Copies of this chain bind each other. A is one copy, B any other.
Amino acid sequence: MATVLKAAPISQQIVDDLAKQCSLLKKDGCIPCLKVILIGEHAPSVIYTRNKKKFMESIGAECEIIKLAEDVSEENFLNTLKTQAKDKSVHGLFVQLPLPKHLSHIDVGQLVPPEKDVDGFHAQNLYKLMAGDKGENALLPCTPKGVMTMLKHAGVSLEGKSVAVIGRSLIVGKPLSLLMTNYNATVTMCHSKTSNLKQVTKSSDIIVAAIGRAKFINSEFLRSEGDQILIDVGINHDSDGILCGDIDQNDVENKCALITPVPGGVGKMTIVSLGQNLITAATNQLEK
């Protein structure tokens, strides 16, 4: 049986650390503050932002959700964003995606100042990642950062490892590939046009599935040694409507060494990474 690497114990330890750091920042007169701009009533977005607010408050930080109407004008939206970007009491800022159609041409990640970019999508933060940063100077995108945190807590070194990252999104696959390369892993960036996917996954020490297809990766993608590490970034629903990942967890559980579950795995770490980025951003801004 594979070791199931759950997020909860890792998360709890980090939450305790973040609460301590937050308390120290407050002693220095800095109350870490996150602002989230939420447009409209898109149900999952409402839940996500509420969870983020709860999490930030649980570590002692402030979090305000700024609600704008679904039909907010581009001008009003951009003005709201600019006001928050300039406000020195705001340390972290992001716009909850997806945007309504009439605003979807805006690349909001680029409008948040890089030092407040707790989502890690500003060009300047991603550039640092390209330039070799492991997160010392850049605010890292939350999901890739969460994956790295889990691997670190599991004692998995990336040095010299081969990794198949499946899914080339700007949110997960591409930044995670760069980050793992910076940690001396040899990464193959796979995607829907990869012609020899099973050959790549079988020859990889670590497989990261971030494609958004329910149970796509099964035991046919694994080698027979049972020594592989599987990271499941997917959050999907199967044909019975049950929450599942990109990996067919039942099928692989006896055929790998370690696996992150869904739910209770990488997904849970994203919000933890956001909290870490907020505390880092507040600390950096205090030091300036």
Docked pose: A170 CA to B133 CA in angstroms: 12
Contacts of A181 in B (CB 8 A): 168, 174, 189, 191
Interface string of A103-135 (1 = CB under 8 A from B): 000000010000000000001101100111000
Contacts of A186 in B (CB 8 A): 188-191, 193-196, 200
Contacts of A168 in B (CB 8 A): 181
Contacting B at CB under 8 A, from A162-215, are 162, 168, 170, 174-175, 177-178, 181, 184, 186-191, 193-196, 199-200, 203
Q: Is A159 an interface residue when CB atoms closer than 8 A count as contact?
A: yes
Q: Please tell me which one of the listed residues B126, B159, B174, B193 contacts residue A160 in the complex, with CB atoms under 8 A apart.
A: B193
* A65–chain B nearest beta-carbon distance, Å: 27
Instruction: Tell whether, in the assembled complex, residue B189 and residue A189 are in contact, meaning their CB atoms are under 8 Å apart.
Output: yes
Q: Please tell me which one of the listed residues B130, B191, B195 contacts residue A162 in the complex, with CB atoms under 8 A apart.
A: B195
Instruction: Tell whether, in the assembled complex, residue B184 and residue A187 are in contact, meaning their CB atoms are under 8 Å apart.
Output: no
Contacts of A159 in B (CB 8 A): 193
Q: Please tell me which one of the listed residues B124, B174, B195 contacts residue A178 in the complex, with CB atoms under 8 A apart.
A: B174
Contacts of A188 in B (CB 8 A): 186-189
Instruction: Tell whether, in the assembled complex, residue A170 and residue B200 are in contact, meaning their CB atoms are under 8 Å apart.
Output: no
Docked pose: A161 CA to B196 CA in angstroms: 9
Instruction: Tell whether, in the assembled complex, residue A130 and residue B174 are in contact, meaning their CB atoms are under 8 Å apart.
Output: yes
The residue in chain B whose Cβ has the minimal distance to the Cβ of A160 is B195
Docked pose: A170 CA to B174 CA in angstroms: 15
Instruction: Tell whether, in the assembled complex, residue A191 and residue B196 are in contact, meaning their CB atoms are under 8 Å apart.
Output: no
Docked pose: A110 CA to B131 CA in angstroms: 12
Docked pose: A127 CA to B131 CA in angstroms: 12
Contacts of A195 in B (CB 8 A): 160-162, 186
Contacts of A132 in B (CB 8 A): 170
* A121–chain B nearest beta-carbon distance, Å: 9
Which residues of A line the B interface, CB within 8 A?
Answer: 110, 123-124, 126-127, 130-132, 159-162, 168, 170, 174-175, 177-178, 181, 184, 186-191, 193-196, 199-200, 203
- Ordered by A's residue number, 7 sampled pairs between the chains whose C-beta atoms are within 8 Å are A126-B130, A127-B127, A130-B175, A160-B195, A181-B189, A184-B193, A186-B190
6 closest Cβ pairs, A-B complex: A123-B127, A184-B193, A188-B188, A160-B195, A186-B194, A123-B123
